[in-house]
Amino acid sequence: MLSMFVDFLFPPRCPSCKSYVERRGGFCGACTRRLTGLRTVARSVDAVSYLAGIWALGYYREGVRDLLRTLKYRREKSVLPYLHGMLAAGEAVLMQLPEQIVAVPVPLAPARAHERGFNQTELIFAPWLKAHGIAFESLLVRSRETAPLYEFSREERRRELRGAFVCANGAQIAGRHILLLDDIMTTGTTLLECARTLKRAGAENIYALVLASEHS
């Protein structure tokens, strides 16, 4: 009843193009087609040897990009339902993974985590992981601050990130299957460096799932 009243006052709109939609919390049909779509991006990245598979749930384009920026820089958690809606397609990924798997978020730089107050990747994936009975463990931490990567080439990113992650104190990694999670994938360098760190600590198979990627 209350929701009908809210819908009357504030009819649900697509968060990307602002056109009216039937149900609150999703993109319109055109934006769904433009912004979402599960795909494997493993072949777009070089040196995938540490990662047994990389999947993206959506495209890092205007729409998804704005939602993520609103969450990260304006710290507005009201956009989370739209991002949560994109995870439904992840079901198909889970069917390809070993049953015993632990989810590990890519850790933020300490300064950024402190300023933001949360790791957006955890907020995006937590309800979905819980619904599927997958534990979230912060097995990785940043060992040092790194420069912002957006203007770096792939080689510069690799150099900047080398050794930037270490295993958390007392982390149980040997022999485990791990699903790395991140909000955005650009060159894949961050995921690769995380996977390299986990592999050296004895992880069995490492997979990666990101909300949005620039790769098609």
Helix (H, G, I), strand (E, B) or coil at 207: strand
Nearer to Zn ion, 16 or 213 (CB): 16
d(CA 187, CA 200): 21
User: CA torsion angle for 23, 25, 31, 32 (degrees, to 10)?
Assistant: -90
Using the minimum distance from each CB to Zn ion, give the nearer residue, 32 or 189. Answer: 32
* 164 near Zn ion (CB under 5 A): no
CB of 17 or CB of 149, closer to Zn ion: 17
Show the site string, 7-46: x = touches Zn ion by CB under 5 A, - = not: -------x-xx----------x--x---------------
Binding mask 87-106 for Zn ion (x = CB under 5 A): --------------------
* Distance of closest approach, residue 18 Cβ to Zn ion, in angstroms: 7
Nearer Cβ to Zn ion, position 18 or 144?
Answer: 18
Q: How many CA atoms lie within 13 A of 57 on its CB side?
A: 25
Q: How far apart are CA 45 and CA 42, in angstroms?
A: 6
Give, in order, the Cα–Cα distances in Å from 173 to each of 78, 103, 187. Answer: 34, 12, 25
Task: Report the distance separating Cα 171 and Cα 185, nearest Å.
Answer: 25
Pick out residues in 187-206 that bind Zn ion (CB under 5 A): none
CB of 141 to Zn ion, least distance (A): 38
Footprint of Zn ion on this chain (CB under 5 A)? 14, 16-17, 28, 31
